[in-house]
Structure 1
């Protein structure tokens, strides 16, 4: 085999030029149907391994450099390949020797093929450059499709060196590759008729889907009419709803036409938001038109069912909003009762509410203390499962009052403050108010429920912090009519109180049960 290779060494010889640091795949120009192709480094006569893990390895007719290094320059034998790797220089984007020859097909067309890209499986074009300057993909001048660059109406000013940059993925690694070739315009042999889309316009109704284009005079070497949906070729769509049919025919005066019909079996709402693009191209240039779909205009004088449905929906939504505003509290309490809503997370709290009320200095019984010690626990604790902390009932004898108050307020989820005229005159428990309002307003870790048990009139004599809370959320007022049946939990007063109470905690229920 070695003798055979050396005998063919000078008969089949070609040169490859590459940039340092890029991936390079070289294809052996000769076919060997009867034997396996092996690659050798000519100077060392070493066999290039067929191991994919190696930076330089071979597989059949292909030789990989992943990536190239300046030291790789030299001669390699399959026929014989001479490789020259050029280092990157800041002022030179590609050496003169690395340019690929002009594609003969580009002399009379605006199409440039990226050189050598077919040697790289699943390569992806990243960008194109002209004379080392990037081309704008959004420009109407250029259309970049797969390995091709199409330009509209090429002129002498479009001549130059075009470089395609693409990425190549091999064994999970991504490599950069670039290739450059010249572009030359031969104005004398250009096609006399420019490509022109005759139909459709930019908006069509959903039944229509034909794109008709004039592609030139006489039979064309390159003539394509096709549809894209959201930048994806219609023929590549996996959906069975879309079907593209094409036909080309000669019209009068030897005018050559192409038609591509896009049929949509079932039009969906998402199609009205999609972009349908008709692309037509020949050797000279390409044109495209972006189409959007719209529903058919209904007959004049008739109101569509869609409009009626929208109006009815808006009326229903408005009624629901109004009902919710008027019956918000009843709806929330109803949902809590039906769905048995509980909070299960452990928030470190023990009590659902801490109760602050003005204490009577005399031994005379009054309604406020009866309300706090009898009615409030009966409704919130016994009927609705909440746990309250009430001074005089839940603070043990011998405890330090100041520390006990502070700890229990911190362990509560709500703060219930009973408002009466006596509260204005009471200074004995000012520390209790101070700690509670500090937690509510400064630390912002507890919500306040204000129960106005007796009419106070103006709130000017109350503490400024209480006046601030009243201004923000108001108070829940106890009225004389509630005295007849104070334990009726369905009264407006108790509904408001329960609405502002927290969701019952399962942990609280367990602690209460224990």
Structure 2
């Protein structure tokens, strides 16, 4: 009885252990990075991602250790996970080791697929989404399926595009038919491109040849014809033979950053990199030899952006900003460095402190402008009123030049013998010159006596004794009409003022 009890307890413990072991399972969730897209009506195969990403051993090792691979499926718009039944008569899905085959894939095969590796004590599983996609109308492909991308070096000869992922679909003894298309246009007769079965040979790689190349492989299996559609995106990149070290656009010695203390210092470092496959491109700033990544000053910020050029060349722009830089910070050494597989280069930014003009510059400029304006106004006034100014000066500050000249009269006046001129001379002209300015006029009919010297000389002698009109007005005493003209003008000016 004791022996039976011990056996029952041992069996119960082992069952509990097995039950607990079977309940534990390493669930890796849904691997969205492994999303697979296949064409409707075409054969397809998918491998369990466990052995490629999550586990350290392959399917053969796991199978030898007694682990079994089981496939489950959650159909689209459903929540229930069901095991895949491969034994149905009309089933088009089969399993071969770690690979699930579709002969062919249909639209209702879309869903989440789970592969589980387990035994009585171990379990590990991962799920991934599978999407069956129809081709676009009037197109050889579907734009929702991202093509495989391959790089080809510019001007390299005899490059080949190989139709991808077609191995294993047909026996090696079967020779399929392969047709090539560029953007769904047949490649037959294309210049410098030659189809050779599952390969497309490109004589010389040119930039105009880039695009999506599609191969459609046709073969027969068990009396049924299948198609495989694959697309390769050809990217034309720069040749490694022409690759260069980093090329600086800025900073350079021709560009000077001149700022006042307190302004934001913004230094862009623009570097051009030629394409180099698997080459790291690095750009960084140093301040007085220290990398900005090692400086914790909150005033210092660094941002970076990239611009992709033709043939996968690129320009990296790394901008250094020093907020409200002081005069001492503007005097520091700011150097940009760049590096790729071809070498390392550097370029220093030329930063200077702007000399601030004195604050009274505006006042000086205004004073100088006002002075110039005053001089111009005075010149204009003198030019217009110079005669009045000379007369005013002689009347108030000048010396009487006629006192010692021995002459009795200052001005001799001669006029026509008519009432109008006689009225002007005796009333207006005499009144202005004698009464207002104090000059002595020799008027022929009034002051010249018959037989006198004034009568005999014609009145010129008294006039030449005065320097007023001969020098200032620049008149000729032998021209009485000119004298009358100037006196008439002078009288009008006096009346005006």
Q: What TM bracket, shorter-length normalisation?
A: 0.3 to 0.5
Using the size of structure 2 for normalisation, the TM-score is 0.34
Using the size of structure 1 for normalisation, the TM-score is 0.33
Judging by fraction of residues, say which structure has more strand: 2
Q: Which has the larger radius of gyration?
A: 2
